[in-house]
Amino acid sequence: MKILKRILLTAILALGLTTISNAKEINDSVALNGIKETKSVFLIDFTNVKKTAFYMNIIEGTHKGLVSQGVKPNMVLVFIGETVKFLSTEPDEAFEMENEEYLVSIQNSIKNLKKAGVRMEVCAVATKVFNVKNSTIPKEMDIVADGFISLIGWQTQGHKLVPIF
């Protein structure tokens, strides 16, 4: 019985290694065929701090993924709506206590994306509506008069909209 178990285990391991060695590399080479540079604009409008932190991390990964596949990413993030509350360096104290982990993650993503050359714009209409002082928006970000106008401008310049919701 022990010999049968060893043979079975050896066969399973051999099959597993064969499957791993025959696995295709996972990449985006078909979609990126011949592309050296991309132009994208992300419209970010979330009402949830956790979701905002999650997608900021995903966008960081997208930037790194493009670079690792030999493509120069020209990315712009446009923040509108309630999302601007999650960008402030001076959030409401109770909100900060409940969501510290996500707020720290967002601030880290902002710094990392800026270092990577990503432009980030914050809508002044949204900061006014949601009572966020423009002076509390991180220095890595630019305040624009109207996020929708900015979005229109970037798309008119050839940036492709990346819908996230």
Domain boundaries, the chain: 28-162
What does the pLDDT read at residue 1? 58
Model confidence, pTM: 0.84
- Evaluate if residue 19 carries a pLDDT over 60: no
Q: How many residues does the chain have?
A: 165
**52-61 mean pLDDT:** 98
- Evaluate if residue 60 carries a pLDDT over 60: yes
- Evaluate if residue 9 carries a pLDDT over 80: no
| CATH class of domain segment(s) 28-162 | alpha beta
Query: For residue 35, what pLDDT band results from cuts at 50, 70 and 90?
Result: very high
Give the pLDDT confidence of 67-90 residue by residue, as tens digits: 999 999 999 999 999 999 999 999
| pLDDT over 90, % of the chain | 82
- Give CB contacts under 8 A, 24+ apart, made by 124-133: 125/80, 126/79, 126/80, 126/81, 126/82, 126/83, 126/84, 127/84, 130/81, 130/82, 130/84, 130/85, 132/84, 132/85, 132/87, 132/88, 133/88, 133/90
What is the 3 state secondary structure string of the chain?
CHHHHHHHHHHHHHHHHHHHHHCCCCCCCCCCCCCCEEEEEEEECCCCHHHHHHHHHHHHHHHHHHHHCCCEEEEEEEECHHHHHHCCCCCCHHHHHHHHHHHHHHHHHHHHHHHCCCEEEEEHHHHHHCCCCHHHCCCCCEEECCHHHHHHHHHHCCCEEECCC
Give the pLDDT confidence of 129-165 residue by residue, as tens digits: 999 999 999 999 999 999 999 999 999 999 999 988 8
- Evaluate if residue 6 carries a pLDDT over 90: no
Higher pLDDT, 110 or 21: 110
What does the pLDDT read at residue 123? 98
